[in-house]
Amino acid sequence: MAMLRQGGSATDAAIATMLALTVVEPQSSGIGGGGFLVRGTAEGGVETFDGRETAPAGATPDWFLDPNGEVPPFAESIKSGLSVGVPGNVALAAMAHERHGTLAWATLFEPAIALAREGFRITPRLNRSLAGTTDRAGWTESGRKLFFDSDGQPLPPGHLVVNEELAQTLEAIAAGGPEVFYRGEIADKLAKVVAAETPREGAMRTADLASYEAKSRDAVCGAYRGYRICGMGPPTSGGIAVLQILGQLERFDLAALGAENPVTWHLFVESQRLAYADRELYLADEDFVPVPVAGLIDADYIARRSALIDPQSAMPSVEAGVPAGASVALADGDEPEERGTSHFAVVDARNTMVSYTSTVESAFGSGLMSGGFFLNNEMTDFSRSPHIDGKPVANRVEPGKRPRSSMAPMVVWDPEGRPLLAIGAAGGSTIPVQTARSIIGVIDFGLDAEDALAMPFAMAYGDAVLVEQGTWLEGAIPQLKAIGHAKVGARKVGLKANAVLNRNGRWIGARDPRIEAQIVVP
């Protein structure tokens, strides 16, 4: 808001938010990670920016395999220099600011620098995250000094954290631009930190940082009930998955079925199953793998996939389809569940929408710190197995490649072409489902943003279905089983979506109400 009040653009405000979250939400995102930014204008223009991390030049398909060629326990891969990709958020911010910033670059850093130098108070959520990942958040001396007491216990809610090292890092980038991050002292230190914890040849080098480039990508766009919806394409799977989920549901009258009808949620789950089957097989960095993007979002292909959905019966099994352009025989990899991430949505006085998802992957990333910030573990978003049953995995490790993501920043225009909604989420593989569910809430059920984000959650994991514990969906488990979903279970879910929605000419921001109020214990 400080950026907007100074006349800044939505892009300025989104960048300033990413920088501030480096300080106050280190478990989820920041300059040690990467992200995707989608920008939509009042006139319908759309641009997408790719700041996804890249694999070091020395990384090979067998990057994570042990000396016997086996995949080791996941913890050994994540808490290691092997897991750190070249961070992309600073380069993304610089590219987006050069094109659409109105405030000075250094101005965007002022709130983050103040938070780091003057301190911020630990929230209950950060305290819980520290307690749940002590071995990673407190792996390095820097992490222990910032967030733990002399007995090794996480500092309590309300404790003031001052991060002078990060303040100095941010000041340097603010004064010298992105070059300061990717070349020179900051880059040298970062590469050394990663190399010291990388148990094989090919560790990150300063040349890997110096050669990093953010990219402007083609947006993926589609229509749903007359609304135009655009998002990020590969290397994220999120935009395509959201468009497929919605497109496959368009032939069903969800509004007539109603938001509290088990059939509505059965249809939603079935559409997810189809979209995620395609995701697992085809989605990866299209600079390395021929991803059939046009075929995957083609209306006729989506209609054929939709025809597999029966309102009265669950599909016994689901396989990936064969979209146009799918000419390469690939295998489904063994990527682990994603965990971290932040999302923020902004609109400015020009009705320009920006949806930005930023991440360090797991909570506190790799646990390694450099310059006062945590380094990502995005390399573990690759499949650690390069081949499955003799077939290459699309999302295998390769030098300079960007790992597949689930992030799904999206922007929406109404049937008259007016900006309506900027939305996205955090929460790993749940991101496309959270985002599609909330878009359905707005379009089909006419909900306000917070009510749409608050809708119950249901997600398919193969032939198993998870429903959110404590919601009416938990009581609908017998009905879902009667439709044919044999494996249905309920549990609490960590959801974290954000949106700005235009209702009757007024923009209203909202977050998932499951996120507790950031009240600090004095």
In this structure, is the dihedral angle defined by the CA atoms of residues 392, 396, 398 and 401, taken in order, positive or negative? Answer: positive
Q: Smallest Cα–Cα separation from 485: which of 469, 473, 471, 470?
A: 473
Q: Are 335 and 404 in contact (CB under 8 A)?
A: yes
d(CA 397, CA 394): 9
Q: Which residues contact 503 (CB under 8 A, 6 or more apart)?
A: 448
Q: What are the DSSP calls for 351-386, one per residue? A: --EEEEEEE-SSTTTTS-EETTEEPP-GGGGSBS-S
Q: Smallest Cα–Cα separation from 430: which of 345, 510, 341?
A: 341
Q: Are 37 and 51 in contact (CB under 8 A)?
A: yes
> 405 among the known binding-site residues?
yes
> 150 among the known binding-site residues?
no
> 514 among the known binding-site residues?
no
Exposure string of 358-376, with b = 16+ CB inside 10 Å and e = fewer, is: bbbbbbbbbbbbbbbbbbb
Chain position carrying tokens 């990670």 = 33
- What single letter denotes the amino acid at residue 254? L
Secondary structure of 26-62 as H, E, C letters:
CCCCCCCCEEEEEEECCCCCEEEEEECCECCCCCCCC
Q: Smallest Cα–Cα separation from 112: which of 346, 305, 371?
A: 371
Which of the residues 341, 357, 380, 435 is marked catalytic?
Answer: 341
Give helix 185-196 / helix 164-176 axis angle, nearest 10°: 130
Cα–Cα distance list, 397 to 51, 380, 384, 400, 429 (Å):
18, 9, 7, 9, 19
> 406 among the known binding-site residues?
yes
d(CA 288, CA 298): 22
- What DSSP element (H or E) covers 508? strand 506-511
Active site annotation includes 341 = yes
> 446 among the known binding-site residues?
no
d(CA 318, CA 312): 16
Q: Are 18 and 37 in contact (CB under 8 A)?
A: no
Q: Look at strands 487-491 and 464-468 and give their pairing.
A: parallel
Dihedral in degrees, nearest 10, Cα atoms 512, 514, 519, 521: -160
Q: Are 37 and 379 in contact (CB under 8 A)?
A: no
Q: Residue 242 in 3-state DSSP?
A: helix
User: Catalytic residues, which ones?
Assistant: 341
Q: Where is the binding site for L-glutamate, in residues?
A: 52, 381, 405-406, 428
Q: Where is the binding site, in residues?
A: 52, 381, 405-406, 428
